Amino acid sequence: MPQGSNASRRSESSRRAILAATEELCRESGYRRLTIEAIAARAGVGKTTIYRWWPSKGAVVLELLDEAAVVGTAPPDTGDLAADLRSLLTEVIELSTPQDSAPGVGLVAEALQDPELGRELRERLIEPRIATFKQRLRRAQDTGELSPDADLDVALDLLYGPLYHRLALHLGMPDRAHLDALITHVLRALTPPPEHPPTP
């Protein structure tokens, strides 16, 4: 939309009101009970305004999370790989807590069964995060913190997997000690076994 006109300012203020209403309603009653009607009423806009910009409540929540994302293009880099991995994983844990009313969990649940929303979720939220994660691991490979042979796709699955596993099975998010244990184990997994040195 063109910037600077009165109309575009009104549009931007409606858009922000819609996203704020979506987050409030989700936190109050959970994603499942969220409706476009309730969002419109809370935001003080017409339903048609919402449908002009978004095809579904999932698409609104996706934009909400996209705006709230604190992950930039640069990964955390304190020089301590385990600490930086803990920061990246903690962001996902916070986005998923509490499970019953976190907008992110609602979106993942809806996307599990909606291939189009799943594609958008992957492209807009997930792939940029995967790129940031791999950038940090490649830097660790450059500095020798991580083996140059480490398989970064395996690393991704092993580090983020437990969070989704625990979410799906209602096992509760890992506490700090369990998260640290997971990271320690995965870093060990990514280190080639010393008992098989390359043959000369």
Least gap, CB of 126 to its own copies (angstroms) = 5
Asked if residue 176 binds its own copies (CB under 8 A), the reply is: no
Q: CB of 120: closest distance to its own copies in angstroms? A: 10
Determine, following the binding rule CB under 8 A, whether residue 144 of this chain makes contact with its own copies: no
Q: How far apart are CB 108 and its own copies at their closest, in Å?
A: 5
Binding to its own copies (CB under 8 A) within 82-121 occurs at 99-100, 105-106, 108-115, 118-119, 121
Among residues 11, 24, 30, 138, the one that binds its own copies under rule CB under 8 A: 30
In sequence order, the 6+-apart residues with CB closer than 8 A to the CB of 172 are 166
Tell me how many residues contact its own copies (CB under 8 A). 50
Contact 75, 88 (CB under 8 A): yes
User: Can you give the length of the chain in residues?
Assistant: 200
Instruction: To the nearest 10°, report the CA torsion of 41, 43, 45, 50.
Output: -100
Tokens of 194: 């010393």
Q: In Å, what is the CA distance from 91 to each residue of 36, 77, 135?
A: 28, 15, 17
Binding residue (CB under 8 A) for its own copies from 169, 196, 198, 199: 169
Least distance between its own copies and beta carbon 12 (Å) = 30
CA dist., res. 135 & res. 175, Å (int): 26
Number of neighbouring beta carbons within 10 Å of residue 116 = 12
Q: Which amino acid is at 99?
A: Q
Q: What distances in angstroms separate CA 13 from CA 35, 42, 46, one per listed residue?
A: 20, 14, 14
186 part of the interface to its own copies, by CB under 8 A: yes
Residues 6+ apart with CB under 8 A from 144: none
Q: Minimum Å distance from CB 8 to its own copies?
A: 34
Could you give the string, one character per residue 119-138, with x where binding to its own copies holds by CB under 8 A and - elsewhere? x-xx---x------------
List of residues contacting its own copies (CB under 8 A):
30-32, 99-100, 105-106, 108-115, 118-119, 121-122, 126, 151, 153-154, 157-158, 160-171, 174, 178, 181-182, 185-186, 188-191, 193-195
